Amino acid sequence: MTNSYALTIYKASAGSGKTFTLSVEYIKLLIKDPQSYRSTLAVTFTNKATEEMKLRILSQLYGIWKLLPDSKSYIDKIKEDLDVTEEYMSERAGIALHNIVHNYSYFRIETIDSFFQSVLRNLARELDLTANLRIELNDYQIERNAVDELINSLDENSELLTWIMEYIRENMDDDKDWNVIGNIKRFGENIFREYYKTNSKKLNERLLEEGFFKQYTTKLRQIRNEAEVEMQNEAAQFFDALNHNGIEIDDLNNGKNGPAGYFIKIKKGIYNNTIVTKRLQKVLDEGSESSWVKQKSSKETQDIVRELANSTLTPLVHHAEDVRQKNWYIYGSAVLTLRHLNQLRLLNSIENKVRMMNVEQNRFLLSDTHTLLHSLIRDTDSPFIFEKIGNYLENIMIDEFQDTSTVQWQNFKVLLEECMSHGEQQGNLIVGDVKQSIYRWRSGDWRMLNNIEREFLYLNSMLNVCSLDTNYRSSRRVITFNNAFFKRASELEYADQKSSTPD
């Protein structure tokens, strides 16, 4: 039974009855105590899901009260879990429904954003926020306006102008568009991401440290160039071997589309895994001279190629691939970092401009809510936060947990741990499905649900982790196919990864 644990975690797939399960658990609390809605908080991620959950609970409370046939599945489940009679259940459901309807503001089923907004309003004094603060939803438009104002305010002595000019010159050197304002605006949106907010202070201190930027870019270019030289040397050895033996690319099997294409692409500066074709993989796996020898060539040329393949070309492919595998990640990382480094240096200026504009217009960004609360919560005991919420919480239920971000979870975890500390007979609940994680753009992190047990190692005996493994939405044929297909696909993927991993 769920109520014998301080926290129950349901890992549930689509169509497995997540909303039904959460509604049952909520109603069970009401059957035991018709006033428990006042101390129960249920959160999800969208307004639509919130309204659906409210409607489901209210309609089923009515159905249980009147013992309607449409509520039979709820009645049977609750009767089994709580070991109560239908008459008792009906009476308590009626009382709970009456209480909620007459005290609807205490019916706390809401989105995660609206909940933290209510916390923010109650903590306005501690956070130095004014009473008439305006919450702004459109973060990105504000960021674009901030960049425009930054550009308009530049003068010839501005350090920011120097950075932008360096960025423009770098783009022109790479044959890219000199008009970088659009790129700066797009990259500037990173100031709203939780990862940046969490690390911005440390990052900007380092980037603005005297001499650091020049030293860092010099070091990155050195790393990039050294990695590229190693890979280019492999291509040079290949072409030197051909020239020394009087062999042209067209003398080799399949010409530039054969194994030789691998070295042609390296010479052009293409280093990623796409250059390892099936024909090259055959050379790596089998080392067959037939991969190199062109049947339409003269016998003399075939003999030269055959000898060269065995003595030089095939060993060179193996060595070149080892060198490429070691260096192309390093090269790619250095290139990517250098590409965005100048923009990264601009983020602090953009962020400061956004903050200044917000203060001037008495505005607060919705995206700042979780980070601001986290900065307060992490240094404060949880009872203080509970006092400021405005009502006493005994139970917390979180739906669609796979879309929770790291900072949101860190804020919620404080409240959840407080509820769990009240005793083991609680109705705290987490429901989610890692396969349905869709909010990565909002810093949602499915790995937290996937590894949720690690979050409560010290309370392991108080956790109940279970799965809802029956699909009520799809036909048996679809489910059978998916189960067979993905099981086999994962086995093949695992086998492929294992075979490609060096001993």
**Tell me, what's the pLDDT at 307?**
87
Closest to 114 (Cα-Cα) out of 411, 382, 415, 366: 366
Closest to 334 (Cα-Cα) out of 226, 480, 477: 226
Distance CA 284, CA 69 (A): 68
- What is the DSSP-derived secondary structure letter of residue 435? G
Q: How many CB atoms lie within 10 A of CB 236?
A: 14
**Tell me, what's the pLDDT at 63?**
95
In this structure, the dihedral spanned by the alpha carbons of residues 198, 202, 205 and 208, taken in order and rounded to 10 degrees, is -70
Q: How far is CA 11 from CA 14, 297, 434, 436, in A?
A: 10, 63, 8, 11
Q: How many helices (H) and strands (E) does the chain have?
A: 19, 8
- What is the DSSP-derived secondary structure letter of residue 52? H
**Tell me, what's the pLDDT at 292?**
87
Distance CA 399, CA 11 (A): 11
**Tell me, what's the pLDDT at 425?**
55
Sequential DSSP letters for 154-196: --TT-HHHHHHHHHHHHHHHTT--S--HHHHHHHHGGGGSHHH
**Inter-axis angle of helices 86-102 and 18-32, to 10 degrees?**
90
**Tell me, what's the pLDDT at 503?**
42
**Tell me, what's the pLDDT at 426?**
67
Sequential DSSP letters for 120-155: HHHTTTTTT--TTPEEE--HHHHHHHHHHHHHHT--
What token pair was written down for 172? 């022109």
Tell me the mean pLDDT per 10 residues along the chain, length 503.
Answer: 69 78 92 93 89 94 94 93 93 95 92 82 71 71 86 80 78 67 83 81 82 88 94 93 89 86 91 88 81 84 86 90 92 88 83 86 77 70 62 84 82 81 72 76 73 72 76 80 85 66 45
HSE of 56, CA atoms in CB hemisphere, 13 A: 19
CB 284, CB 318: distance < 8 Å: yes
Distance CA 470, CA 109 (A): 26
CB 370, CB 188: distance < 8 Å: no
Its pTM stands at: 0.67
Residue range 2-122+367-468 in CATH 3.40.50.10490:
no
**Tell me, what's the pLDDT at 87?**
94
Say which amino acid occupies 193.
R
Q: How far is CA 307 from CA 246, 248, 310, 312, 313, in A?
A: 13, 15, 5, 8, 9
